[in-house]
Structure 1
Amino acid sequence: MSNAYSSILTLLNEQEQHLDVLLLLLHRELDAIRTRDVETLKTNTDEKIQILDLVQATDEQLTASPELDAAKQQDWFKAHLQRLEEKLAQCKFQNQVNSQSVEQSQLVIERFKTELLQSRGRAGLTYTSKGKAAQVDKGPGIKA
């Protein structure tokens, strides 16, 4: 590998580091979802946005590199690109797991809410236009 490709190799290594950090953040996010730690989720989301911005900036730098077309023909480039694609696939999978965990948590909370409303009495239980259970407040009563 010549010095002409050193800038591309540096950018590929940076991209790999960014994806490693992103995967770590996604694992932390799942832990925060499990423990319902809202503050950690917010901090983690901010960090993920920063890392994703760095990934995008590095991609733009790679695309603008004049040696990129020649480097794409090299075996070392193809091997590095394969590793990056595998890490990106891991990140996408972990993001899907996190998304499903959030959806499951929301379903459990909604089910719990419905059970609580039902336990307060069926007379005041109704449904919203979206089909979700709601308690009707009948007020203090009628005074004549």
Structure 2
Amino acid sequence: MSNAYSSILTLLNEQEQHLDVMLLLLHKELDAIRSRDVEALKNNTDEKIRILELVQAADQQLAALPELAEAKEQSWFQEHLSRLEEKLAQCKFQNQVNSQSVEQSQLVIERFKTELLQSRGRAGLTYTNKGKAAQVDKGPGIKA
């Protein structure tokens, strides 16, 4: 591999490291979702945004290199690209798992809320225009 390709290799290795960090962050995010740690979720989200910006910057740097077209035909480039695509697929899968986990948590919370409202008595229980259970506060009553 020539010296002209060293900058491409460096950027590809950077992207691989960024995707490794992203995968780790996604696993941490799932732990935070499970434990309902809002502060950890916020910090994790900020870090994920930072890593995505680094990946995007490396992409832009790669695209600007004049020797990229020639490097794409090289076997070492294809091997790196395959590894990056595999790691990206892992990140996408873990992100989907996290998303489903959040949705399930929201469903459990909504069901718990409905059960709480029902336990307070059916007299004041009604439903919103979106079909969600709500408690009607009739106030202290009418005083003459």
Q: TM-score range by the shorter chain?
A: over 0.9
SS of corresponding position for 1:118: helix
The residue number in structure 2 matching 1:116 is: 116
User: How many residues in Structure 1 have an aligned counterpart in Structure 2?
Assistant: 144
Letter in 2 for 1:41: L
> Partner residue of 2:58?
58
In structure 1, what residue type is equivalent to 2:108?
Answer: V
In 2, Cα distance between the equivalents of 1:80 and 1:52? Answer: 19
Q: Distance in 1 between matches of 2:64 and 2:24?
A: 28
Structure 2 SS opposite 1:131: coil
Residue 105 (structure 1) aligns with: 105
Which residue matches 2:84? 84
Unaligned runs of 5+ in 1: none
* 1:95 has 2:114 as partner: no
Q: C-alpha separation between the residues in 1 aligned to 2:37 and 2:120?
A: 29
4+ runs deviating over 3 angstroms: none
CA deviation profile, 1:18-54 (whole Å, cap 9, x unmatched): 0000000000000000000011000000000000000
- Looking at structure 2, the residues matched to 107 and 64 of structure 1 have their Cα atoms a distance apart, in angstroms, of 46
The Cα RMSD (Å) is 0.5
Residue 9 of structure 2 corresponds to 9
Q: Partner amino acid for 2:101? A: S
| Secondary structure class of the residue paired with 1:139 | coil
TM-aligned CA deviation for residue 141 of structure 1: 1.3
Match of 1:73, SS state, is coil
TM-score of the two chains, using structure 1 as the length reference: 0.99
Offset, 1:142? 1.8
Q: Aligned with 2:134: secondary structure? A: strand
- Partner-residue secondary structure (3-state), 1:134: strand
1:40 aligns with 2:40: yes
Q: For residue 129 of structure 1, give the secondary structure of its aligned residue in structure 2.
A: coil
Cα deviation code 1:71-130 (max 9, x no counterpart): 000000000000000000000000000000000000000000000000101110000111
Q: Does 1:136 align with 2:136?
A: yes
TM-score normalised by structure 2 residue count: 0.99
Q: Distance in 1 between matches of 2:81 and 2:19?
A: 12
Q: Distance in 2 between matches of 1:93 and 1:18?
A: 16
Percent of paired sites with the same residue: 87
